[in-house]
Each structure stands twice: as C-alpha cells, then as structure tokens.
Amino acid sequence: MIQTILQFPVVTLIRVMLGVATAFVLLPALVLPRPMSARTTLDVMVVRGVRWLAIALLVSHLLVVVRLFHAAPILLLCAWLWFWTRGKSNIRTANRAADNNIGAGRRIPPLQRVWLRFADIMHLFEQAGRGVFSNWWANAVSFMQNIVRSIFSVRTLRIAILLVPVIAIVGTSLALRVEQSFRFETLSPPDTYIYLAWAKAFAANQLYVDGLYPMGLPAFIAFTGKLTPGIDLYELVRYTGAVIGMLTVAGIFYAVLRLSANVGAALFASGVFGLFGTISQWQQPWIRQTGPLPQELGFAIALFALPAAVLAITERDPDHLRTVGFAAVAIGLIHPSALGLYLAMALAGAIAASVFTANGNRFVLAVGLSGALGGIIAHLYLPIGVLAGIGLFRGLDQPFSRAELSGSREEQIISIMGTSGLGHNLFSLTAGGAALLAFIAAVFLVRSARTKRIGAQLAGLAAIGLVAVALYDPRWLQIPTNILAPLANVAGVGLTIAFAAGFAAVTAVLFSAHRPSLRPVVRTSVLIVLAAACVLSFSFLFERGPRTRAPSEYASTAAATREIMRNQDAFTYTLVGTPQQRQAVAGIGTFIELWVFARDVTVRDAQNPGFVIPDLSAMLFAADLGQSLPIPTTDTYIFVEKVPFPVPERPPVGPTEEYYYNREKRGRIMAAVYAWAEFYRHYHTNMSVYFEDDDIIVYQMSRRPNPVAAAAAPQFKDYTWQPGELFTGGPKGPSEVVIPWQD
C-alpha cells in the first residue's frame, strides 16, 4: 500500500523536490556559514545554495576520481557533524563542567567534539527525562500556532490574498513543466537519456565514460540521488527536468527582485516565462524546460548569481565576489555556453552599475577576475583529462559532421535550432526597448541620493537584459554553430529580465512622480496586481505556438522497460532494444542493440527448435567469435515496434543515426526482428509475448545460461559500424512481414 502510494507521480515529484531541497537548501544551511552579503532569508538561502552547489559538484568530481562517490553521504554526515559541533565552548554536562581540561578556551579535537555533543543530548535526558520530548512538542506546537495565527490575522490576510496570483503562476508553471513527466514514462528530449547514463556512471564512480564533457548535470543528478532514497535515477531524471525548469522561473524572480526591489517586476518576468515559455519567440523550445539539460541548469544557477555581480558594485561588499566565483565554478562544470552567457551578463551588469554609480571600477575588475577564476577552476578537467589520455566527447572534438551541416551558416544554425530561425523580431526588439527605458529611468533615479543605489542596480538589470537581447540573434559572434544555437536558446530566456527592467522602470517612475509616500503594503498590492495583469495581457500580444514534445520512443516502450526493471533482479535480464533502453538499463541489466540483434539472427535459426542462443561460456573458448550471439542472462526481452516510431530523420553520422534515425532502416530492423521473433515463437517453447499494444510488442525469451560465464564479460557484442552496408533491403516494417500461420 505504502509502496503504491510512493509510486504515485505526484508523490514521486514531491520526493524529488524534497531531495533537491535537501541537497541544495537544507544541507548548505546546516553546513555553510551565513553569507555576510545576504540581506534577507531568501538571500541567505540563494547564496548558500549557489556556493554549496559549486562545492558539491567539485567534491563529487573528486570523489569519483578516487572512486569514493558512494561514500559521499558519509562525508556529508561528517561535514554536518563538524558544523553541529562547532559551538565548542558550550559546556553542558556535569563531567565537562567539572573537568577543567575540556573546554575552557582549549581547542577540542573534532572527534571529541562529536562525542561531547552527544553527551550534551544525554545530559538533556538526564536532566529532563521524557520532558525533553514534551518540550520539543510544545515548541513545535507553538511554532505551528504562530504560523496559523500570522496567516489568518486580519493584517496579513490581505497579503495572503495577494499571494494568490503568485501561487497561481508558480503552480501553473510547475504543472506545465511536469505535465509530460506525469503523462509519459519516456524521457524527453532524447539527450536526457545520455545524461541518465552518465549520472548512473557517475554514481558508480565512472567519469567521462564517453570522453571529456562537462559532468556537472550528471553530478547534480547523482548527488541529488544520494538524498532521494527509494527513487532510482531514471525517476529522478524524469522529474528533475521540471524542477530545473522551475529553477529558471525562480531564478528570474530572484534576480529581478534582488536588483529592482520590485516584486511586481519579478512576478511579471517569472510569470510571463513560466506561463508562456511555449511561444516561438522565446527561442527556448518547450522541451528544454521539461527535461534536465545542462544549459538550462547552468543558466538557472546564473540567474541566481547575477545579482551578486551588480551588488558587488553597488554595495561594495567583497562577499558578493565569492558568490560570483562560486557560481562560475558551478556553471562551468555544468556547461560552457551557460558559463559564457553568465560571464557576459555579469560583466555587463557590473559595468552598467559601475557607470551609474561612478565609483566601482575596481570592483568591476574583481567581478571579472572572480568569474574568470571560477571558470578556469571549472575547466581544469579539460587539461587534466587530456593529459590522462581521455579523448574529447564526440560533440566537442567534432561537433557535427560535414555531412550533417550543409548549406549556409544561417541554414546550419536554423537546422540545429530546430525552432524558428534566428534574427530579431517584435518580441526581442520590445525587450530591447524595455531595457533602454530602464536605463533612462536609472538616469533619473541615480540623481537622488535616496534612490541612487536602486538606480544603479536597475541599470545593471537592464544591461543584463540587453546582453540577452544581443545574443538573441548571435550570428554576429564568430563561434562554432553548435555553441551558437544553445547560446541563443538560453539567451532567449534572459529577455524576461529586459522586460522586467522596463516594468520596474515604469512603475518606479510612476510611484516616484505621483505617489512617493505610498504605504509599502499598498505599493506591493498595486505592483502584484499590475504584474498579474501584464502577465495575462502578454498572452494577447504575441503569437503562441503549440507545445512540443520530443520523445524518442513510444510511451509504452518506456513503461514496459520500467516494469521489467522493477520486476527483475539486476543483471538477470537482457533488453534488446533501442539506445533509449540502453541508457535506462545501464548498470542494472544487460543490453543488446536492436540493429546488432537484427544483424546477427537468421530466420533459419529461429526455425530450428534445437537452436538456443548461446551463453558466454562459448565466448571464453572461441578462437574466432565472428558475429555469434551470446546472451548472458536467463531472460531476454526483445522490443519490436510494430509501427516504427516516427523519429526525426538525421544524417548518418554514426550507427545510432543510420539505424534508428533513418525511418526506412529503423523499419527494416523492426521487420527483421519481428520476423525472427515470430518464427522463433512458432518453433520454440521458451518465448512468449510479454507485452503488446497497437505500437509495440515485447517478446520474452527464457533459458538458463551458465551463471559463471554469464558474469564474465559485460561487453560481448561486435558493435562495429558498417556504414551503408546493413539493412539495405527487405520489408520496411513489421506490417510488410508475412507470417504464414497468422491471419
């Protein structure tokens, strides 16, 4: 019963969100000191979170290098114990009070401090007995009563009502982002499967298994996985996308609120992106907000850290520089294009603030150096990895083959983007206008000593927005096209900041001109209502596009895969399927590519009742393996798409593209395996249909292999790619296969 409830999508989502909150909000609160630059509780939480993320990612990488990532919880526990026992002078027990050698200004060794802390707890019980619990209970009840009282008091009721639009926007934004995860067990977009596999490898102390590539996102997932017990990495990845999408929304809110001190502007910016991220003008494909992708995670972190770059100038507090540096480390470990965007925006914001305050040149340099230093630290893995003989990931050393990128540079970019073409439009130009408006308002604001700081911050915000406008069409940047496209994707999100700056400028001028002495609560109310109205009106101003999905397999395929993984013990089964299933079962079950299976089986074998797919014992004795087909597990599940999945066509730059992203060849592979399986089922007694619907059919084949040999070698197939040689003929899909004994 409890297990069933825990598997509910909503419960899983809540567990994932709690895991992320534990990993990046609660843990840093327990371990990291309060940042000196933080002004509010929200500041404390955000700054700690950003710094902790950098530390967690760095330490996770180091732990993987020394193959101790699985011990991360122990280290976290030690870190927490260290924090917990820092109050070393707090002598409580009778023994400690009587012993002059403990405490009294002497530094107590860490381990001893832990025991003393536990002794303190025992002392509490010695003194109060069960009263300890009643005291705690009384405190908890009092705490809850205070909350309830504050909510329902007449004074805060108005604020509570005003929170309705905020809750509506946040709730709707989350619902939009998590909808796909609720409805489908497939992961979307296709890249997500790669990060799933890397996260699994990371959790198993394997780094850069496919070459050098930023491992920040897999580390983020694996680290969160350590704090979400009972949820496997597949489920975690499935729901983390929505969480990261909401981090973007929250990041927009925080950045605008911290720099403009205008809750309306913050609500407008985050709300408009939260609700209308589907419109084509954002250049941020909707699917990128629903799956865990590194650029989005990196930019979300950037949004939280950007205010520090501007505040370092306006508040002249060096502690902000630490935040800038830590953020650069975290973002750099996650994705270089997000780092580049972050550094550009941070510098632009700092320079603008410096110009408007006219006294922050030294801090601008410091902001630049902090960011650069963080970026360098984050990218140390590149020279170290190259020296260690690890090659670059295919996407880095040879981003796209020439076969794939034909046509002009502009055509290539549009091809990569997969959405609307680049170039400015009414949307980005309006954002640019809003940013310029903010600059004008800032000029007026800085003339008054009372509003000088907020004016400079508004200028910083506008500058950040202008960078987003400039990179909305990044063709002027002479950088590789494969970096250009994601840069433009993510930069589109930043337009919200320009809009927000404009909103803040208008309202600031309005309030200053007409209602300078407006009470804060009224002012807040007006701003929130205005923001809500703007968010709603926004939907009428711009064209909305359909919300897109980019699954790479049928939902039933993912569901069947998950069910097999749930029902079978690890490594007792082999999946024969597509690359998506390979990532899903990586580290849990064995896998054979469908194209390899289709290459290596013959209907003639299937017709022979004496034919049994061999186990690995044959491999250990064979001089020439050829293309024999051993399978090391008792159960084998063969996935066939009765109707080949309508994949987007891709140029044949590798076996995955040639065999799975070519509809004709995918169909031929499915036809070959379907024919084989149906013939096998007719002449053998050990195959049954495990699952079937209109789209797919899953065959289950059982036999008992040698258990010793089965454990011998995980990599047992010949995956050599033979470009253009395989699957050039035959039926183009299972529907064309004639099974004589079937109607």
Partner 1 sequence: MAGLTPLRMIAGFVIAGLLLSACAAPSERRLVSIREGELAAGYLRGQLLYVETRGVRESVLFRHDLWENKRERIRVPEGFADSPTWSPDGERIAFSLTNRAGQSHIWVVNEDGSDPQQLTFGDVVDDHPSWAPNGEFLVFGSIRDGDYDWRLFVVRVPTSTTYQRPMSRIERESDEASSVTIDEGFIATFRDLTAGEVRSIASDDGHSIFPDWSPDGRFIVYSNRDGANYNLRIHDVTTGTDRLLVDSGGDDMQARFAPDGARLLYTTNFEDDLWQIWSHDFATEEQTRIIGSDSMDEFPAFSYDAEFIAFSTGHLAIYRADAEPFPDGQLRWAVTINLAWSPDWKAP
Region 124-153 residues binding partner 1, contact defined as CB under 8 A: 124, 135-136, 139-140, 143
Whether 735 contacts 643, CB under 8 Å: yes
- With contacts defined by CB under 8 A, name the span among 68-76, 149-157, 348-356, 481-489 that binds partner 1: 68-76
Subset of residues 597 to 656 that bind partner 1, contact rule: CB under 8 A: 600-605, 607-610, 612, 614-618, 620-629, 634
As measured in angstroms, the least distance from the Cβ of 376 to partner 1 is 32
| Binding-residue pattern over the window 173 to 212 for partner 1, x denoting contact by CB under 8 A | ------------------------------xxx-------
> Contacting partner 1 (CB under 8 A), which of 76, 170, 422, 446?
76
Query: What is the spatial distance between Cα 589 and Cα 204, in angstroms, rounded to a whole number?
Result: 14
Q: Which is nearer to partner 1, 109 or 707 (CB)?
A: 707
Residue (226 or 394) nearer to partner 1, CB: 226
Residue 617 C-beta: closest distance to partner 1, Å: 4
Q: Which is nearer to partner 1, 230 or 391 (CB)?
A: 230
Distance from chain centroid for Cα 638: 31
In the structure, how many helices (H) and strands (E) does the chain have?
32, 5
Q: Residues in contact with partner 1, total (CB under 8 A)?
A: 81
Tokens in use for 417?
A: 């983007």
Cα–Cα distance, 423 to 425 (Å, whole number): 7
**Cis peptide bond upstream of 480, omega within 30:** no
**Which of positions 345-374 make contact with partner 1 (CB under 8 A)?**
none
Q: Which two tokens stand for residue 504?
A: 């803040």
* Minimum distance of partner 1 from residue 648's CB (angstroms): 32
| Residues 12-41 within binding reach of partner 1 (CB under 8 A) | 22, 26-27, 30
Q: Tokens in use for 364?
A: 């601008």
Q: How far is residue 648 from each of residues 404, 524, 584, 657, measured CA to CA in Å? A: 13, 48, 21, 10
Question: Nearest-5° angle of CA 501, CA 264, CA 52?
Answer: 80
According to CB under 8 A, which residues from 568 to 597 bind partner 1?
Answer: 570-571, 587
Q: Which of residues 217-236 bind partner 1 (CB under 8 A)?
A: 225-227, 229
Work out how close the CB of 672 gets to partner 1 at its nearest, in angstroms, rounded to a whole number.
12
Residues 695-724 that bind partner 1 (CB under 8 A): 702-709, 711-714
Buried b (16+ CB within 10 A) or exposed e, 481-499: bbbbbbbbbbbbbbbbbbb
Please give the structure tokens belonging to residue 440.
């004008």
Angle at 305 between CA 308 and CA 81, to 5 degrees: 100
CB of 667 to partner 1, least distance (A): 20
Q: Are 313 and 364 in contact (CB under 8 A)?
A: yes
- Alpha-carbon span 428 to 411, nearest angstrom: 21
Asked if residues 187 and 197 have their Cβ atoms less than 8 Å apart, the reply is no
Instruction: Give me the least distance between CB of 582 and partner 1, in Å please.
Output: 17
CB of 593 to partner 1, least distance (A): 15
Among 686, 690, 693, 730, the residue binding partner 1 under the rule CB under 8 A is: 686
Spatial distance between the Cα atoms of 659 and 578, rounded to a whole number of angstroms: 10
Residue 302 CB contacts under 8 Å (≥ 6 apart), including other chains: 251, 327, 331, 338, 341, 342, 345, 346
Of these, 683, 690, 716, 721, which contacts partner 1 (CB under 8 A)? 683
Instruction: Give, as one character, the DSSP assignment of residue 107.
Output: P
List Cβ neighbours of 327 (8 Å cut-off, separation of 6 or more).
50, 54, 301, 302, 304, 305, 308, 342, 371, 374
Q: Give least dist CB 491 to partner 1, A.
A: 37
Which segment (71-79, 232-240, 297-305, 456-464) binds partner 1 by CB under 8 A?
71-79
Single out the segment in contact with partner 1 by CB under 8 A; choices: 74-82, 164-172, 301-309, 326-334.
74-82
Residue found under tokens 């190259």: 386
Nearest approach, Cβ of 238 to partner 1 (angstroms)? 19
Cis peptide before 189 (omega within 30 of 0): yes
Residues 105-124 that bind partner 1 (CB under 8 A): 117, 120-121, 124
Nearer to partner 1, 135 or 735 (CB): 135
**423 sits near partner 1 (criterion: CB under 8 A):** no
Site for partner 1 in 281-340 (CB under 8 A): none
DSSP-derived secondary structure letter, 300: H
Closest by alpha carbon to 406, among 492, 334, 481, 500? 481
Q: How far is 174 from 731, CA to CA, in rounded Å? A: 45
Q: Which is nearer to partner 1, 49 or 474 (CB)?
A: 49
Q: Which is nearer to partner 1, 506 or 618 (CB)?
A: 618
Shortest distance in whole angstroms from residue 596 CB to partner 1: 11
Q: Is the backbone of residue 516 left (phi > 0), alpha (psi -120 to 50) or beta? A: alpha
Q: What are phi and psi of 137, to 5 degrees?
A: -60, -45
Residue number, 525 or 574, with CB nearest to partner 1:
574
- From residue 517 to residue 556, the character string flagging contacts with partner 1 as x (rule: CB under 8 A) and all else as - is ----------------------------------------
Nearer to partner 1, 80 or 511 (CB): 80
Instruction: Kindly state the smallest distance separating residue 27's Cβ from partner 1, in Å.
Output: 7
Q: Which position among 21, 38, 70, 211 is part of the footprint of partner 1 (CB under 8 A)?
A: 70
**Min CB(69)–partner 1 separation in Å:** 9
- Kindly compute the dihedral angle of the four CA atoms of residues 341, 347, 352, 357, in this order, to the nearest 10 degrees: 150
CB of 15 to partner 1, least distance (A): 12
Helix (H) or strand (E) holding 582, with range, is: helix 579-585
